[in-house]
Structure 1
Amino acid sequence: MDALEILSDLEHVFPYFQPIFSADEQQVIAYKVLGRYETGDNIISLGPFFQDDQIPDEYKFEVDLLLVRKALEKAIKLEDDISIFLNRNAELLMYGHGEPFLQELLDFEKKGFNLSRIVLEISDRKYLGDLDQFDHLLQYYRTYGIKIAVSSTDSESYHFERIGQLEPDILKINLEPLKSTATGMNFHDVLFTLSLLARKIGATLLFENIEMSYQLQFAWKNGGRYYQGFYLYPPAAEFIQRDLLKPRLKEKFHDFISYEKRKLEGVYLASEYFHSMVQEIVMKNKKAGFKELFQTLVKELDHIAFRMYICDEDGFQKSANIFKEKNGWDVQAEYKNKNWSWRPYFLENIIKMRNERKGILSDLYRDIETGENIRTFSYPMNGDDYLFIDISYQYLFEHEQLL
């Protein structure tokens, strides 16, 4: 892309706006500003212009500031509760120590544009400057009400650390990896970690690049409050009616809710089934030792389980592992006396079982040793002993509502 051609023809540089929709109101709550350039009969994206390391920052800043000015001139006419997302990397934001950009925003504040409507979508992965100064600038911007958004599905610990340091108002998740059939559990694991982190720091999840219905469903199921993508509405030169997609989104959410209810009902019924079956087996073997109890459980649960063991309420394993190998069940004595209280929800579930005297079917998770997705059924045998039964992926696969 010829930078000089663009700089000498700035009147053909203009913003496009992609609407961002909310789950709670099913309407437009923001627009992301995207740069466009008209050349002849074509309208092209300015993304390559801003991503080209060979183009000087002052050129990029001039074009970017023009886009911001043109975007806010149009956005000032919108309702006061509609935000404007501006995408800026650290180099561009630090240009002139951040003052020229802020001054432009302050000029619009004088015209009646509340700066709390501005969301800065930042990236500092390639920034070679002083991160402390960059962070101070962001905090300074925040004193004007400006919000911060960070894009991430990066599993590197550095990036999680940066998110924790910046404590963004919005955490953006790119759903493009979901288009690939090669996408493995890593993406889901990273997303789960990010959703927990977002909850801890009070950030809202925004899912972008939604291009298909199943991606919207994925975003909805995984705690997304805001949605953006071509499936909903493509970038355009003009704003759209806020409630344009409300009927469609309500219908979609109704389908998602109905599907999720069926799955939850299936999980509930499976939990009741396991509870009744295990309770009957345990009661019949009340006076038997662990060995005899496991012998009975293995016969009854051979097609369901692949691992069983017994712990006390502090998480110390009182029995060996009974593990299903290819050629049958085996005893893994080395697991006796190991402690599992460090596992998430372990003690919480122990207290719940102790008080309610009822078994619990866990959520879906990946087993550390087998690497497969499993669930665990836990059962309170008596005041001291708790039985844990790991349900095999094969059984979950055969009962789709459990996956």
Structure 2
Amino acid sequence: MLDGQPTVVFQPFIDTATGQIAGVEALARLRDSKGQLHSAGPLFSDPKTPLPGLRRLDRTIRQQALQRFHQAPGEWFLSLNISPRWVSRLRIGQPLPSLKQLQRSGVAPERVVFEITELGGASQRLPAVVAAYRAAGARVAIDDFGAGYSQLDRVLALQPDILKLDMRLFKAAALGGPSEQIVKALAQMAERTGCWIIAEGVETEAELSFALECGARYVQGYLFAKPELEFFATDAFVQRFAQLRNQYVKHKLRERAQLMQLRQQLSLLMAELYLWAHKSEGRERLPAPDAYPWLRRVFICDSQGTQLSPNHEWRNASWHTDNRYVGHNWSWRPYFYQLLAEGWDERRLILSAVYRDATSNQYCLTAGKFIDNNRLILVDIDAAGF
């Protein structure tokens, strides 16, 4: 038996384009004898919870949500969680109980998103279920996207309308490091396949900033609202969101100014390195980079991408030479063919995007400039400060 009275609560989705509430997710709570509400989430992950009781709870919450949704503004959508574990228990050809509930409710299917959870254990019948939801006019979301890489093939097969980033992965990514690049890559993949991104579990301004950087269409989390019994007004968070969005834009402008300053410093450094390269002098004649604390290494390549010089690295207040990479070819690197495409005719400075350096396993940028018809000078930059 499940201890408590099933009760639906709603957590809003904030549209990042307007700051308004665009919809709500229906979530299950159990009301105890003292009237306190408790999340029903742990019951669904506890293998000891009786499945018949979970199924009844699931359907009761959906029924309550659909009934209550008639009170919501007409432009909102309602997200309903669906577990594939119930799909596998249906008879072949049996109508979907969730669709029957939707049809009886009188809520327009176009206002409903069926949010599929537990994709890693999804039934083989799930594609047919998704097709049935779409045929009825509803949209489909996949929850916890990125939690398991085995999901990628299923996502491509199901072609969802919305992807919700895995909360734990998203929170780790917002702190930086390798997870950040993984989540950004997942978000880019979603955008290219026509999916909208939802960032859930947004609790801090840093997490909101990262969600905006990932191109999230909607954000959801305690930074704006906890799940509540009643609906908020559509514009309840517009002012708060606008303030946070403006802070994000100002931060990106500061980053841009910092990048422009870096370009100015690089121009000065390249002028010094140009003279050094044309004199064909050794590392002892390289200028000390006192004004360039971000400088990691300097090297020269030919126009085909083959490294002609050793790596000259600034460490412990002196230059050090590493001959291991002479003869290696870097033409496949994005920064190099960008140089060839954009830097050849005008001999202008080209700066790459941030990437993970194969030799040091750290994040860096690479700046480059032609010094004559066949040689380029390249500078690797520590990206920690940019």
- TM-score normalized by the length of structure 1: 0.83
- Aligned with residue 319 of structure 1, among 287, 309, 317: 309
Counterpart of 1:299 in structure 2 is: 288
Where in structure 2 are the equivalents of 1:220-299 lying within 5 Å?
A: 220-282=212-274, 284-285=275-276, 287-289=278-280, 292=281, 296-299=285-288
Match of 1:9 in 2: none
2:102 maps to 105
Instruction: State whether residues 145 and 151 of structure 2, in contact with CA within 8 Å, keep that contact through their aligned partners in structure 1.
Output: no
**Secondary structure of 1:216's aligned partner:** helix
- Please state how far the C-alpha of 1:328 moved relative to its aligned partner: 4.4
Tell me which amino acid in the other structure corresponds to 2:366.
Answer: T
**Aligned-partner residue type, residue 215 of structure 2:** G
2:321 counterpart residue number: 331
Contact 1:320 1:336 in 2 (8 A): yes
Equivalent residue number for residue 36 of structure 1: 29
Aligned equivalents of 1:346, 1:116: Cα separation in 2: 48
Deviation at 1:23, TM superposition (A): 0.9
Report the counterpart of residue 376 of structure 1 in structure 2: 366
CA displacement 1:220-258 (0-9 Å, x = unmatched): 233222111111011111111111111111111111111
Distance 1:296 1:358, change over 3 A: farther
2:62 to 64, 68, 93: 68
Contact conserved, 1:204 with 1:224, CA < 8 A, in 2?
yes
Q: Which moved more, 1:219-228 or 1:314-323?
A: 314-323
Other-structure match for 2:348: 358
Pick closer, same or farther for the CA change 1:159–1:35 going to 2, 3 Å.
same
What does the per-residue CA deviation read over 1:336-383, in whole Å, with 9 as the maximum and x for residues that have no partner?
332223334542343122355321233333322223232222223234
Stretches of structure 2 lacking an aligned partner (at least 5 in a row): none
- 1:391 partnered with 2:363: no
Selected match of 1:52 from 38, 46, 56 = 46
> For 2:174 and 2:160, how far apart are their aligned partners in 1?
30
Partner secondary structure for residue 279 of structure 2: coil
Q: Using a 3 Å threshold, how does the CA distance of structure 1 residues 164 and 388 change in structure 2: closer, same or farther?
A: farther
In the alignment, residue 63 of structure 1 is paired with which amino acid? Answer: L
Q: Which runs of 5+ in 1 are unaligned?
A: 7-11
Amino acid at match of 1:14: T
> Does structure 1 residue 85 correspond to structure 2 residue 95?
no
CA distance in 2, matches of 1:345, 1:146: 44
Q: Count residues in correspondence.
A: 381
Query: Residue 194 of structure 2: which of 202, 205, 210 is its match?
Result: 202
* Residue identity opposite 1:288 in structure 2: K
Q: Indicate if the aligned counterparts of 2:11 and 2:227 stay in contact, CA closer than 8 A.
A: yes
Distance 1:139 1:382 in 2: 60
Q: Where is the helix percentage greater, Structure 1 or Structure 2?
A: 1
Q: Is the CA contact (8 Å cut-off) linking 2:169 and 2:183 kept in structure 1?
A: no
